[in-house]
Each structure stands twice: as C-alpha cells, then as structure tokens.
Amino acid sequence: MSVKKFRRAAAFGIFAASSLFAATASASTVAVTEWMYNGDEFIEFTNLTNAAVDFSGWSYDDDSRSPGTVSLSAFGLVAAGESVILAENDAATFRSHWNLSASVKIIGGNTVNLGRNDEINLYNAANMLIDRLSYGDGNFPGTIRTQNVSGNPGNLAVLDQDNVTSDWVLSSVGDSFGSIASVSGEFVANPGRFALAPAAVPVPAAFPLMLSGLALFSIGRKKRA
C-alpha cells in the first residue's frame, strides 16, 4: 500500500471514530421526557446518553429553582435509555396504578407538586442545571394542558428547548408512545418508557477504529521516513 493510501486510511479511521464521538456528544443529556400534573402526578426523566448515569446527589425542583430541594439519589445508576419516575403517590401505589414492573425505578411521595403553569428543573450532584422545562397553556398559549393526561415530546429536537412548544403532545391510548389508561381509567400516560430514546451508539467500537487509524498513520509516517 502506498504512503498516500496509508494516510487516507488513517484519516478515515480517525474521522469515523471522531464522528461516533460527536454523535454521542450530541445525545449526551438526561431530559424531562414526560409529565402530568394533578391526579396521579409524575415526572419522567430519561437518560439519553450512551452510558449509565449515577443520580447520586442529583435533585429536582419546580419554578423555585433551588438545587437540592428533592433528592433523586435513590435512582442510583440509571442505564443508557432508561426512564425513571418521580411521583406524588408512594412508589407502590403508583406502580400498581400503571401495572409497572419492579424494574422501573420510582421515587414516590414527592410533595413539591406541579401546577397548571409551572417548571421542572433537574440538577446534577454539582448543582448544575441539566434540564429545564417551563410549561403551561396559560403561559404558553396553544400548548398542552397535562391535567390527568401526560405530555410527550413530538420529537427529540424539542428536548433542547427550555419552554414547552406546540410540538409537545398529549398522550392517547395506543399512540406511538405506548400510552395506556391507568387501572382506574382516570388517567392516560406511558410512564417508565420513552419511545423516542435513540439507539445506543456503540462507543467502545470507536476505540479500535481510532487506534487502527492511528496505527496506519504511524506506519505511513515510518514508510515515508
């Protein structure tokens, strides 16, 4: 193989690996992916990264914007693509209302309740804001009212915005989010699963690709010398 071909192969290997890392970085977030106020009130957070996230020291607050108000440490290690629930009801009651398996992580007994027009703030262990969702059909006319029916992002792009938009949609039984009616029939939602969670990028595979690129680049340099 000529030096020029070696260098091209090396460049491709490094570029492909860096592209994988870039794709990972663009999805590197934990976001509010569903919420419902009143009734069987809850907030769903989803790990949209390609690696587990340790929620130790993480917290939630409403429009008071005070880190540390409600501890989320009990979620522990949240896997890539996993959704977890913060509920007003105790965990066992909420789980029974939606027939959720024991694998769905729920923190119950939340008393920092949501209102018709409110805000959801997620903070990490360093008290840095990770995600914010300001919502309310009163504050943002034309957007959804999530009383007894949960709200879902119509696409992943809206998760980058702090304010709810018309792209957020209400749940309906049998929709693309997998929404169901609660056991009582009073509520409609899809807690504990997020249908739009992106497929994991095989980040570890990028390492051999990058290393092979670097190796080829090194060989190319030696041949040139």
pLDDT at 137: 97
For 17-71, write each residue's pLDDT tens digit: 433 333 333 335 999 999 999 999 999 999 999 999 999 999 999 999 999 999 9
Asked whether residue 213 carries a pLDDT value surpassing 70, the answer given is: no
Place of tokens 């709810």: 164
For 68-121, write each residue's pLDDT tens digit: 999 999 999 999 999 999 999 999 999 999 999 999 999 999 999 999 999 999
- Residue 198: pLDDT band by 50, 70, 90 thresholds? confident
For 131-147, write each residue's pLDDT tens digit: 999 999 999 999 999 99
- HSE at residue 135, side-chain half, CA atoms within 13 A, is 32
pLDDT at 1: 52
10 Å Cβ neighbour count for 147? 15
pLDDT at 9: 43
What is the spatial distance between Cα 152 and Cα 71, in angstroms, rounded to a whole number?
Answer: 24
- Residue 68 near residue 58 (C-beta atoms within 8 A): no
- Residue 200: pLDDT band by 50, 70, 90 thresholds? low
Rounded to two decimals, what is the model's pTM? 0.79
pLDDT at 82: 98
What is the spatial distance between Cα 219 and Cα 139, in angstroms, rounded to a whole number?
Answer: 62
Q: Give me the chain's average pLDDT, please.
A: 84
